[in-house]
Amino acid sequence: MDVTPLIPGGRQVIESYGRRGFHVSGVAWTGSILVFPDSTLEWSAGSFVDLSEEAFRPIVEKGGIEILLLGCGARMQLVPSALRQALRASGIVMDPMDTGAACRTYNVLLSEDRRVAAALLPAI
Protein backbone atom coordinates (compact mmCIF):
# COMPACT_ATOMS: atom_id res chain seq x y z
CA MET A 1 0.00 0.00 0.00
CA ASP A 2 1.39 3.39 -1.03
CA VAL A 3 1.20 5.86 1.88
CA THR A 4 2.94 8.71 0.05
CA PRO A 5 0.70 11.78 0.02
CA LEU A 6 -0.57 12.81 -3.41
CA ILE A 7 0.86 16.23 -4.13
CA PRO A 8 0.02 18.24 -7.25
CA GLY A 9 2.84 18.81 -9.73
CA GLY A 10 4.98 21.92 -9.42
CA ARG A 11 4.87 21.87 -5.62
CA GLN A 12 7.90 21.93 -3.34
CA VAL A 13 8.08 18.53 -1.64
CA ILE A 14 10.53 17.95 1.21
CA GLU A 15 12.25 14.68 0.31
CA SER A 16 14.81 14.40 3.12
CA TYR A 17 16.48 16.29 5.95
CA GLY A 18 19.62 15.91 8.03
CA ARG A 19 22.27 17.56 10.14
CA ARG A 20 23.47 19.86 7.37
CA GLY A 21 20.48 20.50 5.19
CA PHE A 22 17.61 19.30 3.06
CA HIS A 23 16.53 17.89 -0.29
CA VAL A 24 13.46 19.64 -1.68
CA SER A 25 12.00 18.64 -5.05
CA GLY A 26 15.30 17.27 -6.29
CA VAL A 27 17.47 20.18 -5.09
CA ALA A 28 20.00 19.92 -2.24
CA TRP A 29 20.01 22.82 0.25
CA THR A 30 22.66 23.38 2.91
CA GLY A 31 21.67 25.18 6.09
CA SER A 32 18.33 26.70 7.04
CA ILE A 33 15.55 27.11 4.46
CA LEU A 34 12.05 28.46 3.95
CA VAL A 35 9.76 26.16 1.99
CA PHE A 36 6.62 27.49 0.34
CA PRO A 37 4.30 25.47 -1.89
CA ASP A 38 5.80 27.14 -4.99
CA SER A 39 9.40 27.94 -3.96
CA THR A 40 12.24 27.23 -1.56
CA LEU A 41 14.65 29.92 -0.30
CA GLU A 42 17.75 30.08 1.86
CA TRP A 43 16.85 31.37 5.33
CA SER A 44 18.98 33.82 7.28
CA ALA A 45 18.28 32.15 10.65
CA GLY A 46 21.23 29.87 11.36
CA SER A 47 19.99 28.63 14.73
CA PHE A 48 17.06 28.89 17.11
CA VAL A 49 18.64 31.84 18.93
CA ASP A 50 18.64 33.79 15.63
CA LEU A 51 14.84 33.82 15.45
CA SER A 52 13.31 37.30 15.39
CA GLU A 53 10.49 39.13 13.66
CA GLU A 54 12.99 40.13 10.98
CA ALA A 55 13.86 36.47 10.30
CA PHE A 56 10.19 35.77 9.55
CA ARG A 57 9.68 38.84 7.34
CA PRO A 58 10.03 36.86 4.06
CA ILE A 59 7.09 34.68 5.11
CA VAL A 60 4.89 37.65 5.97
CA GLU A 61 5.87 39.43 2.74
CA LYS A 62 5.15 36.33 0.63
CA GLY A 63 1.54 36.49 1.80
CA GLY A 64 -1.12 33.82 1.61
CA ILE A 65 0.37 31.65 4.36
CA GLU A 66 -1.92 30.59 7.21
CA ILE A 67 0.17 27.86 8.87
CA LEU A 68 3.90 28.14 9.51
CA LEU A 69 5.66 24.98 10.62
CA LEU A 70 8.84 25.88 12.48
CA GLY A 71 11.43 23.10 12.45
CA CYS A 72 13.45 23.95 15.57
CA GLY A 73 16.27 21.45 14.97
CA ALA A 74 16.67 18.12 16.77
CA ARG A 75 14.13 19.09 19.46
CA MET A 76 11.05 21.27 19.66
CA GLN A 77 11.65 24.50 21.55
CA LEU A 78 9.30 27.11 22.93
CA VAL A 79 8.95 30.25 20.81
CA PRO A 80 8.66 33.58 22.65
CA SER A 81 5.06 34.73 22.92
CA ALA A 82 5.83 38.14 21.35
CA LEU A 83 7.14 36.45 18.21
CA ARG A 84 4.10 34.19 17.93
CA GLN A 85 1.79 37.17 18.41
CA ALA A 86 3.60 39.20 15.74
CA LEU A 87 3.02 36.42 13.21
CA ARG A 88 -0.58 35.97 14.32
CA ALA A 89 -1.16 39.68 13.67
CA SER A 90 -0.27 38.88 10.04
CA GLY A 91 -2.74 35.99 9.97
CA ILE A 92 -0.09 33.28 10.43
CA VAL A 93 -0.30 30.57 13.08
CA MET A 94 3.13 29.19 14.01
CA ASP A 95 3.51 25.57 15.08
CA PRO A 96 6.99 24.78 16.44
CA MET A 97 8.21 21.18 16.39
CA ASP A 98 11.40 19.23 15.77
CA THR A 99 12.63 19.55 12.18
CA GLY A 100 11.77 15.98 11.19
CA ALA A 101 8.16 16.39 12.32
CA ALA A 102 7.94 19.76 10.54
CA CYS A 103 9.12 18.21 7.25
CA ARG A 104 6.62 15.35 7.45
CA THR A 105 3.75 17.60 8.53
CA TYR A 106 4.50 20.11 5.75
CA ASN A 107 4.20 17.38 3.09
CA VAL A 108 0.89 16.16 4.52
CA LEU A 109 -0.60 19.67 4.69
CA LEU A 110 0.70 20.39 1.19
CA SER A 111 -1.12 17.30 -0.09
CA GLU A 112 -4.30 18.71 1.48
CA ASP A 113 -3.72 21.95 -0.47
CA ARG A 114 -3.41 23.95 2.75
CA ARG A 115 -1.80 27.41 2.82
CA VAL A 116 1.35 26.19 4.59
CA ALA A 117 5.03 27.10 4.74
CA ALA A 118 7.95 25.60 6.64
CA ALA A 119 10.82 27.48 8.27
CA LEU A 120 13.44 24.79 8.82
CA LEU A 121 16.63 24.71 10.84
CA PRO A 122 18.89 21.67 10.19
CA ALA A 123 18.36 18.78 12.61
CA ILE A 124 21.64 19.29 14.49
Whether 21 is in a domain gets the answer no
pLDDT digits (tens, 9 = 90+) for 3-18: 456 666 789 999 999 9
- In this prediction, residue 1 has a pLDDT band, given cuts at 50, 70 and 90, of very low
Write the Ramachandran bin of 75: left for phi over 0, alpha for psi from -120 to 50, otherwise beta: beta
Q: Give the model's pLDDT for residue 3.
A: 43
- In this prediction, residue 66 has a pLDDT band, given cuts at 50, 70 and 90, of very high
Task: Work out how many domains the chain is built from and give that number.
Answer: 1
Whether 15 is in a domain gets the answer no
Whether 87 is in a domain gets the answer yes
Q: For residues 115 and 44, what is the distance between their CA atoms, to the nearest angstrom?
A: 22
Residue 110 belongs to domain spanning: 30-120
